[in-house]
Structure 1
Amino acid sequence: MGEQERWRHMASAPRDGSRVLVTVRPSEQGPAEVDVAYWSHGDQFGPEGWRASDSSPGCIIEYAEPELKCWMPMPSANPGRASTPSPWEGDDARQLDGSGI
């Protein structure tokens, strides 16, 4: 897996409004999943925090920090790529970025 195609700890996620892939932790609502999100500095529609990229002013989908497990840069457009990556399923968050070594 290339440098661009690996899961990273949320503490290192960009907070500049750029869209990234995130692993949403499993919950009562369902299993872990991958979503596209961005950091919002807050506006008239909601407070500062992570939002799903398909949010709109009338329907803001916000993620609390504990809901997001890790992030990955958006993949480049590549016709040979079949699908999005699978959610991170590791038990130990220290494994992200190789910090468990």
Structure 2
Amino acid sequence: MEEPDRWRHMRNAPRDGSRILVTIRPTEQGPGAVDLAYWSNGDQFGGEAWRSSDSAPGRIIEYAEPELKCWMPIPSADPDRMSLPSPWKGKDTQELEVDGSGI
């Protein structure tokens, strides 16, 4: 069984609507960050895309594929660790490389 608290390439992220943690790439607007997101097959509010779990009808937060660096399953509850993991800050490797810069 794979270790759950490990960042993984976005191409392997589940597209079944389940919530996952994602690392958002750093941009001119700010540093990399972690968000809770899910894949949406599209609806009356937007097309197929990764959406932040903070989204609400009329206020959809969507991420383009190049904006997301990697993902991990939501860690199980652990009272000794009550914070989100840090964003993945390593250099892109073959395993985590995403085509295009997103700009």
Instruction: Answer yes or no: same fold by TM over 0.5.
Output: yes
1:51 and 2:51 are equivalent in the alignment: yes
Amino acid paired to 2:11: A
Give the Cα separation in 1 of the matches to 2:95 and 2:11.
14
Give the Cα separation in 1 of the matches to 2:54 and 2:81.
22
How far does residue 95 in structure 1 lie from its aligned partner after superposition?
A: 4.7
Amino acid paired to 2:21: L
> Secondary structure at the residue paired with 1:66?
helix
Structure 2: give runs of 5+ residues left out of the alignment: 97-103
Structure 1: give runs of 5+ residues left out of the alignment: 97-101
The residue correspondences of 1:9-48 to structure 2 (distance < 5 A) are 9-48=9-48
Q: Percent identity?
A: 72
Q: What is residue 6 of structure 1 aligned with on the other side?
A: 6
> Secondary structure at the residue paired with 1:93?
coil
CA RMSD of aligned residues (A): 1.2
1:39-98 CA-to-partner distances (Å, cap 9, x unmatched) read 0000001100100001000100000000000000001111111411110111123254xx
TM-score by length of 1: 0.89
4+ long deviations beyond 2 Å: 92-96
TM-score by length of 2: 0.87
Q: Is the 8 A contact 2:23 2:88 kept in 1?
A: yes
Q: Report which of the two has the higher share of helix.
A: 1
> Secondary structure at the residue paired with 1:94?
coil
